[in-house]
Amino acid sequence: MEDKRVFLAIPITPSEGYVAVYERLKHRLRMDMISWIEPGIAHLTLKFFGKTSDARIESIIKSIRKGVSEQQGFDFVIDKMGAFGSSHSPKVIWFGVEHPEKINELHQQIMKHIRGIGYFPDPGNFVPHITLARVKKCDDKQWFWKSLEEHQNKDIQPVSVDKIVLYESILQPKGAIHHVIEEFPLKSY
């Protein structure tokens, strides 16, 4: 059996406001070479496991289930936009969140439980974000950053988190397709 590309995430159901900001930015940056991620598969990644065997997936599911068994649901607000990479070479455009403490707490709880089966935090700090696009080439950096700055500190969308999801990501020429492997409900709040 072939390994699966697997990741754990908070699913995001885009609001009209989310889609409007996404479409406006996509239009403004239409002259650049940017690979946009469809809003319909929006998510906030908690852990990317990469290529994973079915046997490992079963142990991941058990560990996550233990890690979130007492975790309470929560809310957050998508309220900013930015890009990873340098100011001269942006790589990833993202939406960020206001007050990420609950997301960070959930992430730490999950990492604590999957560490026992050989998974460790990624290098660098965990930065809660929703990836919007991957930048291949951007000629007018000033226009690029000005376009992103217009959406800083604005309530783009509130999100209620009542579950997290383990997904399989299948890469296709027109973008990734995500299949749910397992859902992990959080306690009511």
- Please write the tens of the pLDDT for every residue from 6-38: 999 999 999 999 999 999 999 999 999 999 999
Quickly list DSSP for 159-177.
EEE-EEEEEEEE--TT--E
pTM for the full predicted model: 0.92
- Please write the tens of the pLDDT for every residue from 131-141: 999 999 999 99
- Please write the tens of the pLDDT for every residue from 90-123: 999 999 998 899 999 999 999 999 999 999 888 8
- SS3 for 12-63, per residue? CCCCHHHHHHHHHHHHHCCCCEEEECCHHHCEEEEEEEEEECHHHHHHHHHH
Residue 73 φ/ψ, nearest 5 degrees:
-65, 165
- SS3 for 106-161, per residue? HHHHHHHHHHHHCCCCCCCCCCCEEEEEEEEECCCHHHHHHHHHCCCCCCCEEEEE
User: Which helix (H) or strand (E) element contains residue 64?
Assistant: helix 54-68
Q: What is the rounded CA–CA span in Å between residue 120 and residue 138?
A: 34
Residue 145 — pLDDT band, cuts 50, 70, 90? very high
Closest CA to 46 of 98, 114, 135, 92: 114
Q: Residues 32, 144: contact at Cβ < 8 Å?
A: yes
DSSP β-bridge partners for residue 69: none
- Please write the tens of the pLDDT for every residue from 155-180: 899 999 999 999 999 988 777 889 99
> Assign residue 171 a region: left if phi > 0, alpha if psi is -120 to 50, beta otherwise?
beta
Q: What is the rounded CA–CA span in Å between residue 55 and residue 47?
A: 18
